[in-house]
Every structure is written in structure tokens, then in C-alpha cells.
Chains A and B, each alone.
Chain A
Amino acid sequence: MISGLVFRALDRGAIAFLATLAAVAVLVPLLNLALPPTSPFYLSSYFVALFGKYLSYALLALAIDLIWGYCGILSLGHGAFFALGGYAMGMYLMRQIGTRGVYAHPSLPDFMVFLNWPELPVYWYGFQHFAYAAFMVVFVPGLLAFVFGWFAFRSRVTGVYLSIITQALTFALMLSFFRNNFGFGGNNGLTDFKDILGFNVQAPATRAALFVISALALMLGFVISRVVVSSKFGKVLVAIRDAEARTRFLGYRVEAYKLLVFTLSACMAGVAGALYVPQVGIINPSEFSPANSIEAVIWVAVGGRGTLTGAVLGAVLVNYGKTYFTSGVLAPYWLFVLGGLFVAVTLLLPRGIVGTIHHWSHEIRARRELNGGDASPMPQAAPRPAE
């Protein structure tokens, strides 16, 4: 049953995409670990960590594409779920430091000793166990999304209103996490990690392993998303996106569909955050800033919303561009580029890169099917909501 679902969900493009990802997941660690640093094909550990970071961003982009591209929910607060997953992982990594911290306290992280916390707060209990932390990585963002979505979708908060209150949500969380007495390290966040599952976070082999895990998580996320969007459930999501009221009148419980996909998406974002933290080495409240969440949305827009592969491509491309720009003399101009990207993509390339390619290939196929008779383009119905 499930294998049948997966089989049906993966078309040729999806399989090509998965194969590419698998190849990257094998090649990058191989070129990093097996080759001597003198070899022209050698990839440095910095590069591995950098691309590992891109892969976790790609998973976040995938999560956004799932709700925005297929259900029309534009969340400007998905960075909140990403950061919550990151904090859950960061808490595990903090507990692993143990007595190797500056103050060498057996249970309290350094910042708590510094701020005179008498003992570990209850919500930090259990984070020394990886399994518990891994569960929280999925559970906390999922729970928040469920509660938030339950309120929002039931009251039919849609469109820009929803976008704005998701933004307010992440803004409120950012302000909270900035507070020292919240117990998450305040301004500095969580950092200075040592071990993950007994392996040194900084070691090249660990980084390569994290890269492979990120790639696998991304592949898994992609397969799940494909299964969701190609199932009947996914068709209903698209119907909600294009004509919400009509779908409701046809008897579908729109809010239940939205809630389910929103929660799923938040869980994926949480996993992305958890993969991000050990590779970057820090998590702090600025990850909650609304600007970060909006930036993630533009990755999806650049790649092409509603394509899944486009989200991944967009995340990697935009972030590579960001690294390229901000590390050179062009650094002051990065915001011009990013801002220009927002404007240009929405105005000139509303389908995104992958979406535009799909569109062209469909058009060419359609023309061929007309037996080469009339060469003029087909009259296209504007992709407008029916309401």
C-alpha cells in the first residue's frame, strides 16, 4: 500500500532529483575524507559544513513550499519552527558539554552558572538523552503549529492576515528568547558545543556524517512531500489553494486539511533546524527574526513555488549567492541583490526557475501534440483563484 503510494508519487523528475541528491550525499564526503588536501578535487571541511547548512535550509524551503505552493498558506513565521527545532537540538548539545564548560558544572550549562541559576529548569530535563531531544525536535514545532493552526484556520484567518500573524508569532518568540530569564541563553543563545552522540562536532568525519544525514533527511522530506501532494489529500490541498470557499461547499473540512499540512510542514522545519545547529555550531534568537522567515519564502519563490524541487534549488542557489556576495568586496551590495531578487522574481518570474522550465516543456509538448499545425501559442487561462 505504502510502497504503491510512494511508487506512484515519484515521477521521472522526482527520481532524477533523488538520484542527484544521493550522488551528492556520496560524493561530497568522499571527496572530503578520501582525498589528500593537495588533490585538486579535495573539498574542505568548511565546504562540507557550508553545504550541509544549505541542505538544512533546503529542507526548510521544502516545508514552506508544501504549505505555500500546494495549499496557499504563506507563513512568514516558519523560521520560528526551524529555530525551535534548532533550540531542541542545541539543548541536547549543551547537556553533552558536561563538565568541560568554562565553569565545569556537572549539570548546568555555562550561561546558567553565569546567571546564578540554582538548578536546571524543569523544561531542560531529559535533554541529555538524544532520543528525547530528537523527539522534541519534531514535537515542539509540531505542537506549536497545531495549536496556532487550530486557532487560526478554525477562525478562517486567511491570506495576508495569516501571513501577518505568523510574523507576529515569530517576532514574539524572538523577543522571548532574547530574555535571559527564559533559560535559553538569552542574546548569546546556545553555542560552544563539543560532542554529538559521543563524536566531536568539529571533526571532519562528524561533519561529513552530518552532511550525509542532512541529505538523507532532505530526500526523506522530499519523498514525504511528493506522497502528500500526489495523493488525493494533495489534490484537495490544491483545491483549497485555488478556491477555498468552493472546496468547503463541496463538503471538505478545509480547516482540518490545512491544519494537518501546516503541522507536518512545521515538523519538517523543526528537523531542518535540528540539522542546522550542529553544522553551524550556534543557535541564537536572531534565527526567530521575521526577516529570516521572509528570506526563506523567497528561496521558494526563486526556485518555483509548488514544484518541491524548485524549493530545494532556490534555497541552495540563493544561499550560495549570499555566501558568495557577503564574503567579498561586494558585501555591502548583498541587500540590493536580495531585495532585487524579491522584486524581480515576483514581477518577471512568478513561476520561479523550475516552474518556468515545467511551463515551457508543457508548452512544447502541447504544440507537438497539435501535429505541428498551428504554431501560435495556446490561449492560456490566467492562473487566478476562482473566487
Chain B
Amino acid sequence: MAALYGRVIALVFAIGLFLAGGFGAKAETYDEALTKFTADSFADTDEAIGGAARSGNPLAVQVIEALQDGRLLFSTAEKKVYIRDEAGTLLDAANGSPIAGSEPSDLQPVRINNRLRRSIDAALGGLTLLAPDPGRRFEAANAVFKSKDANALPTLEAAIAKETDPAVKTALIEARAAVVLFGPNADEADKLDAVAVIRERGNQEALALLSSLPPDTPAPVMRAARDAVTSIQNQLAIWGALQNAWYGLSLGSVLLLAAIGLAITFGVMGVINMAHGEMVMLGAYTTYVVQEVIRAKNPALFGYSLAIALPLAFAVAGLVGILIEQGIIRFLYGRPLETLLATWGLSLILQQAVRTAFGPTNKDVGTPSWMSGAFDVGQITITYNRLWIIVFTLLVFVGLLALLRFTRFGLEMRAVTQNRAMAASMGIRTSRIDALTFGLGSGIAGLAGVALSQIDNVSPNLGQGYIIDSFMVVVFGGVGNLWGTLVGAFTLGIANKFLEPYAGAVLGKIAILVLIILFIQKRPRGLFALRGRAAEA
């Protein structure tokens, strides 16, 4: 009860202080503060900042902001301080009006150092707590949360009383809690309340604050803080795991997109296409060309550039795939190792061709506005481009499943996968199915290229970075089964991201590779192996 009473007194006092701001009684100290700016010593400037902030003069914000940006000038001869505003006009800091006549000749900026920058942030935090814009108030509250400046307490109380925006109000209350915890004068009950408030906040900043309480904090408060730290750490661990899971899903969707085409060509034809990564690259370059054309001809369409690029990338990569099948792979059936070598050679040629045509440097592929930006869910940040890629991947996956399940082509494809000879004797033109399957696999790689152009560098080596990972997905998931590829991709993606924090990105990747090599020993045909005759074909 006593705490509440104290708070009400403080509030009344603060409002009084606020209302008094700008009136004669305080004007003197504001002028005194201004004079200190002209001393050209860091210590005096520090005092001047505090003085100006405490003065309550409405010009104080402007003066301190000017100081922050190096626009606060002083004249030693006149012992006066001026503000150069954004437009370049010189204002008298004492009354905020433009100066009459010519500028003083010995103007120089008030110098600041890092310690002063902290004072400035704290002072501005306190001052802008009452700004009309809620965004600025929120920032100010966070600044006070970090600075824990006891001088801001009265203003904080005033701001809390006035605040209507719930998010800002929470931030303000948390800021007050921080100040109370670090202030020497508050009593134990207040501090315990404050710990509870900060525990609610539950992020890294709260953790840092609670673990660095001043040594003279009473023991019960310390205990409460330790409890809060443990609880926050647990919470953060859960959020961290969720964040990793999200990154893993994102990586998994990229892997799935890159590997799924490979999985169908390998599943149906038993052909390892080492040039698969280059199909992805072709898709990415198609996106680049589409965007260049749009930029040149009709910039208004830029938002649709990816939608336009998708069918084109599918067509380009699919056509190249059919050409490869007709020109090379068709002659090498039954010789998988030779196919592997020939397609590797092809990948070298395609890379070099793109390098010759577009140059070896990375190409800039733009991101439409609906794909840029991010939003927060609890403590995790979700970027729109990753989200869209996951959605897109799932759409492609579902589309492919539907194609295999419900169309004539899908039926024939499955028949050829299961038993080529039998399918041929039932009248299915297996060579045509092979060509179309290869085109489909390559086309999907082209689609993957459109998606990857949003998150990776578009260069001739783009495909190389994904080919080994894609193979791992296919080998891990097993061939001839799209679900295997799905499970394989997401397992590898999530495992990779969970290993990274412990082992680092590179060691995590090595660990994954070693695990897969070991896994292959156990299940040589992958997670979802075909059984029966087809397995040995």
C-alpha cells in the first residue's frame, strides 16, 4: 500500500514538474545549461545535457538532438549556443528563433564522445517519452530501459499515466521497473514488483538486465531476480528452438525444391543428373532476364516479375532438360555411371556458357515489395521471402503429387518406375515418358531457381552449391517416393539448423554428411525404399 501511495505522490510531483516546464522558474537553469555548452569541455557538456533535459524547456529536445547530429554550434566570443536546423538556417538555442543579422564568425560545433553519446541517448529517451508519435515513445521507453537513468523516473510516471497505446504502456512500465531496480531509493517491495514486470518481458534484454543487478540490491530481490533469470532462460531456450525449427523448415523447403526434380528423374529413369544444379541456375537467370526486361519496358509490372518468371523458368529449364535427354542421356540407359559423367560434363558446359553470356559476377535479382520485410511471432522473426518459399515449395509438392496421382502422364510415369519392361509391353511409350519425366524434373529445378534467386546469389556457380545437398536428400529419403524426399529434405534442414548453434555452420554440415554416410550403411536404399523387384532394377 505504501508503495502505491509513494507512486501517486511521485506521479503528482511529476505532472507538476511537467506542467512547470517552460515557465519562468526553470528558464534560468536552461540558460545556465546552455552556457555550459560553450565551455568546450566534455565534463561541462555532460552537465549541460543533464541540465537541459531536467529544465523541462521544450527546446531541450531540439538542442540535444542537434548535439547528437553535430549541428549544435557555439561561439566562444558571444558565449551563446546556436542550432543549425535541417534547412541550414541558424537558430538561437535560447529562444528557438532564427538569428537576426549575420552569423558569428567563430562558430564551431560542440564536440561529443562516446560517453556523451550515452548521456544524450538517456536524456533523449527521457525527453521523448512524451512525444506525440507512439513509435517515438516506444523507442524512448526502450532507451530508458537500457540507460536505467534515474532522472527519467518522474517523466516516466507522467507518461504511464497518460499512455493509451497498450504496447507503449507495457514498454513504459518495463522501463520504470528497470529504473526502480537500479535506483538506490526504491524499497524492497517496489523492486520485487519490478522484477516481476521484467520477468514478463522475457527477452535477451530482460535477461541481461536481471543478471547485472547492482551489488547492493536486497537479498530477496536478488533471489527473485535469479528465479526470473532461470525462467527467462528456459523461455528463451524454447523460443530459440522454435526459431531453429523455423530456419530448419526454411532450409528444408529450399532443399526439397532443389531435390524433388532430381528425385523423380532418379526414381523413374535411374539416372543421376549431375547437371541438375545447372537447371536451378538457369531458372534463376531466367528470373534475372525477366526482371531486366520489365525494368526496361514496364517498371510497373515489377511486382509481378516472379509470377511471370515462374512459367518461363519452367519452360526454359524443361526444354533444356528434354534436349539433354534426347541428345545424350537416351543413348546411355543402363549405364548409370557413364550418365553421371556425361551430365557432369554438361554441367561444366552450361556453367561456362552462362559465365560467357552473363559474366562471372553475381547478378542482382530484385525482391518484389510483397516478399520483403519481416514480422515477429513472439520472440522469433519471420521474413516474408522465406515464408513465401515454404508456401511455394508446398504448392509445388502438392501439385506434383496430384500430377502423379490423377493424370494419365502420372500413371504412366509410375508404371515405368515400377516395372519398365511390363509398362512397355502394356503399350506405354517408355522413351516418351523418359523424355517428359526428364523435362518435368528439370522444369521443377527451374522453378526452384526462381525461388532461390530471392535468397541466394545468382551466379554461374549457384547450382553447384545445391547439388551435393540435393543428392544427400535423395539418397537419404530414398528414390521413387516423393514423401521420402519431403521427409528427407525437412529432416536434413532441421537437423542442420539444430546442429549449427553447437557445432558452427561448417562443422554442422560435416556432421550431417558423416551421419548420412553412416545412415546409408544401415539403409542403403534410403528411408523409403521401393520394395520387391523394382528395388533391384
Q: Does the CB pair B337–A160 fall under 8 Å?
A: yes
* Contact across chains for A155 and B520 when beta carbons are under 8 A apart: yes
Instruction: Tell yes or no: B241 within 8 A of A by CB.
Output: no
The residue in chain A whose Cβ has the minimal distance to the Cβ of B517 is: A165
Asked if A323 is an interface residue, CB under 8 A from chain B, the answer is no
* CB within 8 Å for A335 and B351 given contacts A169-B517, A290-B468: yes
Please count the residue pairs between chain A and chain B whose beta carbons lie under 8 angstroms apart in the complex: 121
The yes or no answer to B348 lying at the interface (CB within 8 A) is yes
Residues of chain A in range 150-190 having any CB-CB distance to chain B below 8 Å: 151-152, 154-157, 159-161, 163-165, 167-169, 171-172, 175-176, 178-179
Q: Is the interface of A mostly helix, strand, loop or mixed?
A: helix
Are A346 and B332 in contact, CB atoms less than 8 angstroms apart?
Answer: yes
> Do the beta carbons of B345 and A342 come within 8 Å of each other?
yes
Instruction: Give the complex CA separation of A178 and B506 in angstroms.
Output: 9
Contacts A167-B468, A342-B348: A176 and B342 contacting too (C-beta < 8 A)? Answer: no
Q: Which residues of B contact A148 (CB under 8 A)?
A: 517
A168 touches B517 (CB 8 A): yes
Complex Cα–Cα for A159 and B524 (A): 11
Are the C-beta atoms of B347 and A339 separated by less than 8 Å?
A: yes
B198 — which chain A residues lie within 8 A by C-beta? none
| Least CB distance, B130 to chain A, in whole angstroms | 52
Contacts of A340 in B (CB 8 A): 345, 349
A160 & B344 in contact (Cβ 8 Å cutoff): no
Residues in A with CB closer than 8 Å to B517 are: 148, 151, 165, 168-169, 172
Bound state CA distance, A341 and B332, in angstroms?
Answer: 16
Instruction: State in angstroms the CA–CA spacing of A301 and B516 once bound together.
Output: 29
Is the pair B348, A347 in contact by a Cβ cutoff of 8 Å?
Answer: no
B460: nearest chain-A partner, CB-CB: A335
Q: Does B341 contact A298, Cβ atoms closer than 8 Å?
A: yes
Q: Does A260 contact B (CB under 8 A)?
A: no
With A155-B524, A175-B509 given, is the CB distance from A167 to B471 under 8 Å?
yes
State how many angstroms separate the Cβ of A325 from the closest Cβ of chain B.
Answer: 12
Smallest CB–CB gap between A306 and chain B, Å? 13
Nearest CB of A to B181, in Å: 40
Overall SS of chain B's interface: helix
Residues of B within 8 A of A343 (CB): 328, 342, 345-346, 349
**What separation, in Å, do the CA atoms of A168 and B353 have in the docked complex?**
26
Q: How far is the CB of B471 from chain A (nearest CB, A)?
A: 5
Total chain A interface residues with beta-carbon distance under 8 A: 45
Q: Chain B: which residue is nearest A298 at the CB level?
A: B341
Contact partner, A168, options B334, B342, B471, B507, Cβ 8 Å: B471
* Chain A residues engaging chain B, CB cutoff 8 angstroms: 74, 76, 148, 151-152, 154-157, 159-161, 163-165, 167-169, 171-172, 175-176, 178-179, 290, 294, 297-298, 301, 332-333, 335-336, 338-343, 345-347, 350, 384, 387
Contacts A335-B352, A338-B345, A340-B349 aside, 8 further interface pairs with beta carbons under 8 A come to: A151-B518, A155-B524, A161-B475, A168-B516, A179-B507, A294-B341, A342-B346, A350-B335
Measuring CB to CB, which residues of chain B are less than 8 angstroms from any residue of chain A?
272, 328, 331-332, 334-342, 344-349, 351-353, 355-356, 468, 471-472, 475, 506-507, 509-510, 513-514, 516-518, 520-522, 524-525, 536
13 examples of A-B residue contacts, CB within 8 angstroms: A76-B340, A148-B517, A167-B471, A176-B510, A294-B344, A332-B356, A335-B352, A338-B345, A339-B347, A342-B344, A343-B342, A347-B328, A347-B332
